[in-house]
A and B are shown apart, each in its own frame.
Chain A
Amino acid sequence: MPVPDALEFFIDPGRCIGCQACIQACTECDTHKGQSMIQLDYVNRAHSTQTVPVVCMHCDSPTCAEVCPADAIKRTEDGIVHTAQKPRCIACNNCVLACPFGVPKMQTRMNLMMKCDMCYDRTSVGLKPWCASVCPSQALAFGTREEMARLRPHAKPVNTFQFGRQTIRTKVNIMVPRSAATDIVDVTAAMHEPTIGHEILDDVFNDISDGGDA
């Protein structure tokens, strides 16, 4: 049974309080084999306690599936990109490296890539995913667009992202201030700022804009 079209996922990083309830709840999902699929990143730990929860954005053209050499990552008709199929996954890590949002996780003990599948066992029967049902500040929210428009009058959902030269449309929305001029979120814009968890040593995106790939 597909996930109902009217129900959508909204991430509002500005509302995240870093309580990690989503991380705990995620492990409870029946399709997650006890693993948490959520990443909770500090934006800039030295200066702020602000955290950002990252769930799978369920791209229209999933880069993880595009790069999979084993044809293991599949997308159902409702647009949910699923965990790699166990009989096919060869644990090559291509998807982990390719995903613009850093979502797929390699479970080396199982030799299987696992990723957020929006709690398919729950959302496919109309329930909220675990993270959205436990999030106390509703930074992770699951509902209709009308509901969101009513509850968040100062924010608007955006589902178009820019990653280098790649434009990505996603099923999951991110909430940006309504006053924001842009309709596109540049995923890599902040990559050059040093962060605690993810140190980027190679300036690959500068190389691309300089025509370094020619």
Chain B
Amino acid sequence: MIQSQREVDGPRDLDHATVPPDGRPLADQPKWRRDFPIDWAQDEYVSRRELVKFIVLTSAALTVGQFWIAFKNTFNRQPARLAGERIASVDELSVGGAKTFTYPEGSTPRLLVRIGTTAFVAYDQQCTHLLCPVVPAVELGRLHCPCHNGWFDLHTGRPLAGPPQRPLPKVLLEVRDGMVYATGVEESAT
């Protein structure tokens, strides 16, 4: 009676059908052999496991990222506490006039615009799209970024048209004794 190979060896473990050349069990094999199994079933299992791992980790990272952004925004809403600084005198600018300044010292250029007899506004001069300097268009009540035709509201700094999505960071001002003082910076909320 001729026996089939199966009867000699006993039933084959379908999960580990391929015997590595050295005959040792799969657990003793190098990692590459475990990661790249020859058997179809194991190969599919690894692919499925990799996919599940990828999905879980990616969505976890996205969730954590969302919470991080929300957390950051909650605490950045408050204007930064900075020492007040004199940046211009009232008489220096006519109504509709503008000048650049830095506040605090060493910051990116800020733009001070006189929009009324006692009304001043100041914003960061960098467009929130690609950091081009914005120019005031006081007669339109707007700030214009010529690079990509972006528009901001002169009174609030909110984006009105064009590519920018975020408002310009606002410099808080105080007019006292004919002088204009910067008292803080309100970072734009995303």
Contact = CB atoms under 8 A, between A and B. Distances in A.
Contacts of B20: 61
Q: Chain A interface residue count: which class?
A: 20 to 34
A211 B43 CA distance: 37
B2 A146 contact: yes
B19 interface: yes
A79 B5 CA distance: 12
Contacts of B5: 159
A156 to B, nearest CB: 8
B40 A76 contact: yes
B40 A75 contact: yes
A146 B41 CA distance: 30
Q: Chain B interface residue count: which class?
A: 10 to 19
A79 B17 contact: yes
A73 B38 contact: yes
Contact of B6 (A5, A73, A148): A5
A74 B21 contact: no
Interface string B9-31: 00000100111110000000000
Interface string B92-125: 0000000000000000000000000000000000
B59 interface: no
Contacts of A8: 4
A39 B140 CA distance: 85
A60 interface: yes
B2 A77 contact: no
A32 to B, nearest CB: 19
A6 interface: yes
A74 B4 contact: no
B18 A75 contact: yes
Contact of A74 (B3, B6, B40): B40
Contacts of B39: 74-77
Given A71-B36, A74-B38, A74-B43, A61 B14 contact: no
A166 B21 contact: yes
* Max chain A Cβ within 10 angstroms of own Cβ: one of B5, B6, B21, B39: B5
B36 A77 contact: no
Interface in A154-202: 156-157, 159, 166, 169
Nearest to A173: B5
A179 B38 CA distance: 36
20 contacts: A8-B4, A60-B19, A61-B19, A61-B20, A62-B18, A62-B38, A65-B18, A66-B21, A66-B38, A71-B36, A71-B43, A74-B38, A75-B17, A75-B18, A75-B38, A77-B17, A79-B17, A145-B4, A157-B2, A169-B19
Given A66-B21, A75-B39, A148-B2, 4 more contacts: A6-B4, A8-B4, A76-B41, A145-B2
Interface of A: 5-6, 8, 60-62, 65-66, 71, 73-77, 79, 82, 145-146, 148-149, 156-157, 159, 166, 169
Closest 10 CB pairs of A and B: A65-B38, A74-B40, A71-B36, A77-B14, A76-B40, A149-B2, A145-B2, A61-B21, A60-B19, A75-B38
